[in-house]
Amino acid sequence: MARVDLKSIVSNWQTEHGIYHANWSGTFNEYLDLVKADPRITRNAFQRMFDMIVEAGTEDYIDFKKPVVRYKFFDDAKNNGKDAVFGMDVPLMKLVNVLKAAALGYGTEKRVILLHGPVGSAKSTVCRMIKKGLEAYSKTKEGAHYTFEWIDEKGELGDLFGKEARTFPSPMNEEPLLLIPEGLRAQVYDEINRGQEGTFRVAVEGELSPPSRFIFRHLMERYDGDLMKVLSHVRVKRLVLSESDRIGIGTFQPKDEKNQDSTELTGDINYRKIAEYGSDSDPRAFNFDGEFNVANRGMIEFVEVLKLDVAFLYDLLGASQEHRVKPKKFAQTYIDEVIIGHTNEPEYRRLQDNEFMEALRDRTVKIDIPYITKWSNEINIYKKDFNSKKIRGISIAPHTIEMAAMWAIMTRLEKPKKANLTRLQKLKLYNGKTLPNYTEDNVRELRKETMREGLEGISPRYIQDKLSNAIVNAQQNNRGSVNPFMILNELDSGLKNHSLLSNEDLKAEYRELLGVVRQEYEEIIKAEVQRAISADESALQRLCANYIDNLKAYTQRERVRNPFTGMDEEPDERLMRSIEEKIEIPESRKDDFRREIMNYIGAQSLEGKKFNYKMNDRLHKALELKLFEDQKDTIKLTSLVSSVTDKDTQEKIDIVKTRLIKDFGYDEISATDVLHYVASIYARGDVKNK
């Protein structure tokens, strides 16, 4: 049996992910050489985060005449799209613009970035992606940064670092250049920056943490101010961020008031070391392990930040504006980190109404993270989790996810102010479909006139829960396929006990929208069955040729040669109208439509192209509907609702079923279900007609 070549697997993985020498260590002078070779290793937290996102790649496009930059970082390609964010290019572009301004030192580096939006709008996902990205980026050559530790290799410093301790790591993973006294920094920075290419220049700000400052001061006294001897006790090492190890990434979330205090943010006294160092005010006896401390050089995420007690929010004021926190019994301590919080709508309204929190509001940059309002992006969210790779032993019928997403989007859209526009039409316009009398400018106006669109409605989590329920129920009932009606029924029944919906009028409105979705689904499957029935290529071509011959004669005021009698006859007006009426061309507009078709054919001819009915969508649709009308009775689709089907009809139905499977993505079960349902619609229609 062949052995597993773990060494090759690890080597290939490191190469593929660009993991660079993460265990480098060296002297302070060697670090200065690294800085001279690549000054970007001294970037602050905002600069590093911005570069990380931009270096993953961008894509520019126009969305209804508005330029948008899509940042590929949020595709989460390195994790196969596990946390990919869909349909949020504009909010994410605003977030990156804030980071860019902060990286350039324009003021937003002194603000708390607040992601605001309804539940389930991917605020936490965005933070999680950034944290994972920082971890991975810190392992690469491009994202390299460094910290230091104090060393006593010869044991000449006694118990300065603790009893029998020979090293003392920087408790907050500080930038090594902070070891240079402030009065000397300008000269050192000038020397590093001299002759550098590009726009980046070293300009590290801040000061050492209390323990490092204590040791630095002690060594300066020991060596009579000889900085080089002091720095000989410094070992610089590569810094790799890790949320799990609490290195450079912190997360803080509200808990019960009795079980939480501000020391969780700024650290606390280590009572075991008081006896060793003799005083609770000795910085070596203090654990600088609060979330603000461990997040130094990276970022801190505040989960549901506005649910925090006021005492915690005060800590945010200094941390954001001055980049300093106040540990107990110590002076304010410098921090270099990005502060990102997220909150839901009720908490943000409470902040706005609280006049005592003006200082926090003033130091906050709010970025709205609304629900998605583009149908195709909402579909992508659910297809990521509900697909054939993850779901075994059961199929999801075509349009199942699409219909669930359609309902979710419509609950988030405000009612159009235009009387002749429905929510369903608005959804289609937002998704890029063109409707008569609506241009891109009209769609932009539709968006502008809304007040809270995307901030209310059904959460993607609710849709995901109901999709899961429907799939589990189908598995338990040994049903091989889940169809849209099953999902819509789940969505409907869940509204009764929806935890976030107490307004009965709103529930009734959402149920009406479910009815709209059902009707739209019926129209979709009717059209697909019609196309499957009328998908006889040769029959369509013959019908098209016949129509064009009569159309040409009509527009040129000529007669048509009957191939059977050999006689010249008037153009077949009945045939032409039977086709045109299928796409609702009124009698008064028939001449315009016919001239339009002839002009199109003429234009194609001038370019040396032969006209095909597929070149014109409206004509293609009309021909399919006409052929379906002609063939519907010969196939006897309505016989499906009865138990009696003759052999000839069954063969034709099997052909239609095969087309549904081949051309529209159905399987055997879902194709049969759809045919039966559409047959029942036509059966009901026949009864009504009678």
Give the tens place of pLDDT for each residue, 85-101: 998 999 999 999 999 99
Average pLDDT, the chain: 87
Give the tens place of pLDDT for each residue, 494-541: 998 887 777 888 999 999 999 999 999 999 998 888 888 777 777 778
Give the tens place of pLDDT for each residue, 326-360: 888 888 899 999 999 999 888 888 888 777 678 88
Strand blocks (E) in 375-465: 395-396
Residue 111: pLDDT over 80: yes
Q: Structure tokens of 408? A: 């979710």
Residue 640: pLDDT over 70: no
Give 17 or 222, the one with higher predicted confidence. 222
CA distance 174 to 629: 77
Q: Which of 576, 673, 655, 658 minimizes the C-alpha distance to 622?
A: 576
Which residues make Cβ contacts (< 8 Å) with residue 205, sequence separation at least 6?
Answer: 44
Q: What is the pLDDT of residue 329?
A: 84
Would you list the DSSP string of 592-618?
A: HHHHHHHHHHHHHHHTT----GGG-HH
Residue 250, phi then psi, degrees to nearest 5:
-120, 150
Give 580 or 47, the one with higher predicted confidence. 47
CA distance 546 to 543: 5
CA distance 51 to 42: 13
Give 260 or 126, the one with higher predicted confidence. 126
- pLDDT level of residue 548 (50, 70, 90 thresholds): confident
pTM above 0.75, yes or no: yes
- Domain positions in the chain: 375-531, 535-631, 636-690
Residue 426: pLDDT over 50: yes
User: If 0-12 CB within 10 Å is exposed, 13-18 middle and 19+ buried, where does residue 200 land?
Assistant: middle
Give 359 or 109, the one with higher predicted confidence. 109
Question: Percent of the chain scored above 90 by pLDDT?
Answer: 47
Would you list the DSSP string of 160-225?
A: TTSTT--EEE-TT---GGGGS-HHHHHHHHHHHHTT--SS----------HHHHHHHHHHHHHTTT
Q: Are 300 and 250 in contact (CB under 8 A)?
A: yes
Region 471-495 average pLDDT: 89
